[in-house]
Amino acid sequence: MKTLLRSLAGETLPVPPIWMMRQAGRYLPEYKATRAEAGDFLSLCYNPDLATEVTLQPIRRFGFDAAILFADILLVPQALGADLWFVTGEGPRLSTITGPGGVTALKGRDDIHDTLAPVYQTVRNLASALPSEVALIGFAGAPWTVATYMIAGRGTPDQAPAHALKDGDRATFEALLDRITEATIEYLDQQVQAGAEVVKLFDSWAGSLKGDDFAKYAVAPAKRIISELKARHPGLPVIAFPREAGDGYIGFHAATGADCVAVDDSVDAAWVAEHVQPDGCVQGNLESSHMVTGGDALVSEVRRIRDALSGGPHVFNLGHGITPDADPDNVALMIETLRETASVPAS
């Protein structure tokens, strides 16, 4: 069985499988060349041949144990009817949702597939193109994170517009979350039908949900999506990433049904081993900055995280996405260090 699938099934492997968030991206010259050929980022996402190519680039260059579909979490809002564009050097822009009319105007869960069909084609391409030992991960944004972009129309440091709608017009906010949740189930279902072997839910802004809000808007939607997908696809492994959840990572496997909980780099690996890993596989948590700075600090951090999490199922990864200023040689060094004889003591 593929190493990623073994870890997700709960096996403790001598060398954990490794892949990297944003492993297809601007730190790779070959990615930049293909993106230029596509014209812009969204055209790349919707071009199955080129999206397949950029997904495969980091597999060819580094030999990762898993490939992640090349797409974006904001394709779902676009399929639901939002306007979406990317401003170079700044990030995404969307039409905003400010009241009930914005939610009722969205398309239904069954009307998203015309827009998203090229993504499903990319998954089919990948399912036949990947080396037999490499697992294919599909993904979507979690409803809260997607909602933060749909409400604000852009990325926000504190998700203030989404919190304002949640606290000021809870019915509209919850209706929006439901619409995203339903669309996400259908979107991921199609990815699995097309050949995705694992799915990951990115809740990048989960950390700004506190107290009851975390249970209602991070845990509950993840639970609903995971249970519906597992009902349709028994045994489907799911990775959940409630980024910056802190103590909220504890019990997240059991509360949502996720097979693996991905952790960011603000929590310590030894703490994760004690409080999160007993419930199932964990993924993470190397600081992305080591991909820029490299050297001995990178080597010792890789060994420290590997060793701290060696007592249970672990998927090695960064705590968040690799940045455009990263050096590909540091990625190679991370992989080489991880795969060195596991019995070499950390220096």
Residues designated catalytic: 22, 26, 35, 72, 149
164 close to 99: Cβ distance less than 8 angstroms: no
Judged by CB under 6 A, the chain residues 141 through 180 that form the site for ligand CP3 are 155
| Residue 298 binding ligand CP3, by CB under 6 A | no
User: Which member of 23, 47, 190, 285 binds ligand CP3 (CB under 6 A)?
Assistant: 23
Whole-number minimum distance, CB 296 to ligand CP3, in Å? 27
| Residue 249 binding ligand CP3, by CB under 6 A | no
CA dist 245 and 204 (Å) reads 10
Could you tell me which residues come within 8 angstroms of residue 277 by beta carbon, excluding any fewer than 6 positions away?
Answer: 309, 311, 312, 313, 314
* 184 to 88, 97, 117, 171, 173: CA distances (angstroms): 27, 18, 14, 20, 16
Give the per-residue contact string, 53-72, with ligand CP3 (x = CB under 6 A; - = no): ---------------x-x-x
| Residue 204 binding ligand CP3, by CB under 6 A | yes
Whole-number minimum distance, CB 74 to ligand CP3, in Å? 5
| Residue 187 binding ligand CP3, by CB under 6 A | no
Phi/psi of residue 88, nearest 5 degrees: -55, 130
| Residue 139 binding ligand CP3, by CB under 6 A | yes
User: Which member of 10, 29, 39, 91 binds ligand CP3 (CB under 6 A)?
Assistant: 91
Angle between helix 170-194 and helix 220-232 axes, rounded to 10 deg: 30
Phi/psi of residue 158, nearest 5 degrees: -125, 5
Could you tell me which residues come within 8 angstroms of residue 228 by beta carbon, excluding any fewer than 6 positions away?
Answer: 185
| Residue 46 binding ligand CP3, by CB under 6 A | no
| Residue 328 binding ligand CP3, by CB under 6 A | no
Whole-number minimum distance, CB 311 to ligand CP3, in Å? 28
Whole-number minimum distance, CB 340 to ligand CP3, in Å? 25
**Residue nearest ligand CP3 (C-beta atom):** 204
247 close to 209: Cβ distance less than 8 angstroms: no
> Which C-beta is closer to ligand CP3: that of 40 or that of 133?
40
* 8 to 107, 199, 308, 312: CA distances (angstroms): 34, 11, 18, 11
Could you tell me which residues come within 8 angstroms of residue 117 by beta carbon, excluding any fewer than 6 positions away?
Answer: none
User: Which member of 46, 187, 202, 217 binds ligand CP3 (CB under 6 A)?
Assistant: 202
229 close to 192: Cβ distance less than 8 angstroms: yes
> Which C-beta is closer to ligand CP3: that of 144 or that of 214?
144
User: Which member of 16, 17, 25, 161 binds ligand CP3 (CB under 6 A)?
Assistant: 25
> Which C-beta is closer to ligand CP3: that of 81 or that of 155?
155
| Residue 214 binding ligand CP3, by CB under 6 A | no
Could you tell me which residues come within 8 angstroms of residue 58 by beta carbon, excluding any fewer than 6 positions away?
Answer: 20, 23, 24, 28, 64, 67, 331
Pick the piece of the chain touching ligand CP3 (CB under 6 A) from 23-31, 165-173, 251-259, 309-317. Answer: 23-31
> Which C-beta is closer to ligand CP3: that of 158 or that of 274?
158
> Which C-beta is closer to ligand CP3: that of 17 or that of 312?
17
CA dist 149 and 92 (Å) reads 8
Could you tell me which residues come within 8 angstroms of residue 111 by beta carbon, excluding any fewer than 6 positions away?
Answer: none
User: Which member of 6, 12, 41, 216 binds ligand CP3 (CB under 6 A)?
Assistant: 41
| Residue 267 binding ligand CP3, by CB under 6 A | no
Q: Name which of 106, 111, 98 is nearest 173 in CA terms.
A: 98
314 close to 281: Cβ distance less than 8 angstroms: yes
Q: Which residues bind ligand CP3 (CB under 6 A)?
A: 21-26, 35, 41, 68, 70, 72-74, 91-92, 139, 155, 202, 204, 321
